[in-house]
């Protein structure tokens, strides 16, 4: 095992009606004035926002709500949220919704107490020094933002999507009520299940690290997602599979399934560039490129892919190379069975992209040549271009 720090301070409140505990939790963590942040209206329509507001009122917490968070959330709304938080005197920010609402809440919490342009923090031009405390009421098992240290924003003026990771981003509490997910469209559940799987895949395909427990945890989580994801897609109101998926979502991105090893996260970087340019759903951006990434990176460590195939997919194949390829195929087929794209043309609903467009994407991923990505295989502009090219059919 390599050295690690495990810090996952988020208090998780799981179960039906858990949202009624929001008021008392805000109070417990010292809040008195909460800014609620939500998306395009699903939380209003389901009555969730009203219940959260009532819970806050019952605990004597003043509150104000800011809606309109877009999937692939925008810097501009977060900036507006900072203004409102300061004007209202908020001392707590609560995201009600998916990763987009929760990430916007995190960004507002940072902007409310740090000086200067908000985007500077996402460009790592300034270090984050404190933030308002954040709470999360999750309505989709997907991004894992409710327990993660990350917040992802899109700067719409320059078409850049970027994550910021810091301890300040860890929510104080997270409400997980699987019943809140009953109203989800099948496509969003499929995107979410894929994102959850990917958060562990990105920690599983890393340089060799000899982590027995971490590997077993990761494999168990991935098997749970593969089994329950399709059931949740078929019927989001089915409490049991949605429960499993939701808990996987929080564990997959709180750090646990990668302890003692480096992270990779190449697919996320390659996918973020697609979301930034074409505004595609995060999970779909991942399913569209993972098969290409895996095929390209397979030669680095076929034994690792074979282990994945055997332990996660139960593939009985003694030949290492054949098992590895069968595992990749099974995963790509699983994405397709959920109705997700497994190539760039499928993702964008048009013919293959021109090579020049693929080059621009690859340059964008490297921040104009300023960085490489990944650890399982370190990828520069040319390698990223090759992966986009493999995904372009």
Residue numbers at the binding site for Zn ion (CB under 5 A): 195
The window from 2-10, 142-150, 216-224, 320-328 that contacts ligand NZQ (CB under 6 A) reads: 142-150
In a 13 Å sphere around the CA of 70, the CA atoms on its Cβ side amount to 15
Which of ligand NZQ, Zn ion, none lies near 260, with the C-beta cut-off 5 to 8 A by kind? none
DSSP 31-82: -SEEEEEE-SSHHHHTSHHHHHHHHHHHTT-EEEEE--PPSS-BHHHHHHHH
Q: Give the shortest CB-93-to-ligand NZQ separation in angstroms.
A: 14
Nearest approach, Cβ of 336 to ligand NZQ (angstroms)?
A: 19
For residue 97, what are its two tokens?
């919704």
Put the strands of the sheet holding 62-66 in their side by side order.
11-14, 173-176, 134-138, 92-97, 33-38, 62-66
Q: Which of 23, 31, 98, 327 binds ligand NZQ (CB under 6 A)?
A: 98
Dihedral pair phi/psi, residue 370, rounded to 5°: -90, -5
Nearer to ligand NZQ, 265 or 385 (CB): 265
Tokens of 154: 């899109």
State how far the Cα of 263 lies from the Cα of 375, in Å rounded to an integer: 7
Binding status of residue 104 toward ligand NZQ by CB under 6 A: no
Rank residues 102 and 384 by Cβ distance to ligand NZQ and give the closer one: 102
142: contact with ligand NZQ by CB under 6 A: yes
Among the listed residues 40, 260, 345, 352, the single contact to ligand NZQ using CB under 6 A: 40
β-bridge mates for residue 164, sequence order: 151
Number of residues interacting with ligand NZQ: please give it, by CB under 6 A.
Answer: 35
**What distance separates the 2 farthest-apart alpha carbons in the chain?**
64
Q: By C-beta, is 82 or 201 nearer to Zn ion? A: 201
Helices (H) and strands (E) in the chain, counts: 16, 8
Task: Indicate the helix (H) or strand (E) that contains 165.
Answer: strand 160-165
Assess 144 for contact with ligand NZQ (CB under 6 A). yes
Burial class (CB in 10 A: 0-12, 13-18, 19+), 191: buried
Of 106 and 310, which CB lies nearer to ligand NZQ in the complex structure?
106
Instruction: Considering the complex, state which of residue 198 and residue 309 has its C-beta at the smaller distance from ligand NZQ.
Output: 198
How far is Cα 292 from Cα 306, in angstroms, rounded to an integer?
17
Taking the complex as a whole, how short is the minimal distance between the CB of residue 44 and ligand NZQ, in angstroms? 8
Interface with ligand NZQ, residue 43, by CB under 6 A: yes
Collapsing DSSP to helix, strand or coil, 136 comes out as strand
* Stretch 249-268: interaction string toward ligand NZQ, x if CB under 6 A: ----x--------------x
Binding partner selected for residue 183 from ligand NZQ, Zn ion, none, CB under the kind-specific 5 to 8 Å limit: ligand NZQ
Least gap, CB of 192 to ligand NZQ (angstroms): 5
- Give residue number: closest CB to Zn ion: 195
Residues of this chain that interact with ligand NZQ (CB under 6 A) are 39-43, 71-73, 97-101, 103, 139-140, 142-145, 148, 150-152, 180-181, 183-184, 188, 191-192, 195, 253, 268, 282
């Amino acid at each position: 095992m390599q050295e690690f720090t495990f810090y996952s301070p988020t208090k998780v409140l799981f179960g039906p009606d858990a949202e009624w505990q929001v008021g008392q939790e805000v109070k417990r963590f010292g809040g008195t004035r909460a800014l609620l942040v939500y998306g395009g209206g699903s939380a209003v329509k389901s009555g969730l926002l009203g219940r959260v507001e009532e819970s806050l009122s019952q605990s004597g917490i003043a509150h104000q709500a800011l809606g309109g968070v877009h999937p692939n959330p925008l810097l501009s709304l977060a900036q507006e949220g900072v203004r409102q938080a300061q004007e209202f005197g908020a001392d707590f920010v609560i995201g009600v919704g998916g990763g987009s609402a929760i990430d916007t809440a995190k960004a507002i919490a940072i902007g409310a107490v740090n000086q200067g342009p908000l985007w500077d923090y996402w460009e790592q031009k300034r270090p984050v020094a404190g933030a308002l405390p954040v709470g999360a009421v999750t309505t989709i098992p997907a991004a894992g933002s409710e327990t993660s240290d990350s917040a992802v924003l899109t700067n719409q003026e320059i078409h850049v999507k970027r994550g910021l990771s810091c301890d300040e981003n860890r929510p104080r509490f997270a409400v997980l009520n699987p019943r809140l997910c009953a109203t989800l469209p099948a496509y969003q559940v499929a995107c979410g299940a894929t994102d959850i799987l990917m958060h562990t895949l990105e920690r599983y395909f890393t340089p060799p690290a000899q982590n027995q427990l971490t590997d077993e945890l990761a494999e168990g989580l991935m098997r749970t997602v593969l089994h329950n994801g399709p059931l949740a897609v078929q019927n989001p109101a089915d409490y049991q599979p949605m429960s499993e998926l939701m808990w996987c979502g929080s564990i997959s991105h709180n750090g646990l399934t990668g302890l003692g090893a480096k992270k990779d996260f190449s697919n996320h970087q390659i996918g973020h560039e697609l979301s930034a340019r074409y505004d595609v759903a995060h999970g779909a951006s991942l399913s569209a490129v993972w098969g290409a990434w895996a095929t390209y990176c397979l030669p680095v460590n076929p034994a690792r892919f074979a282990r994945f195939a055997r332990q996660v997919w139960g593939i009985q194949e003694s030949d290492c190379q054949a098992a590895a390829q069968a595992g990749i195929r099974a995963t790509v087929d699983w994405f397709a069975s959920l109705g997700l794209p497994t190539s760039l043309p499928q993702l964008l609903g048009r013919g293959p992209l021109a090579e020049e467009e693929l080059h621009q994407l690859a340059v964008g991923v490297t921040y104009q040549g300023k960085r490489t990505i990944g650890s399982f295989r370190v990828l520069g502009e040319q390698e990223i271009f090759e992966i986009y090219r493999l995904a372009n059919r």
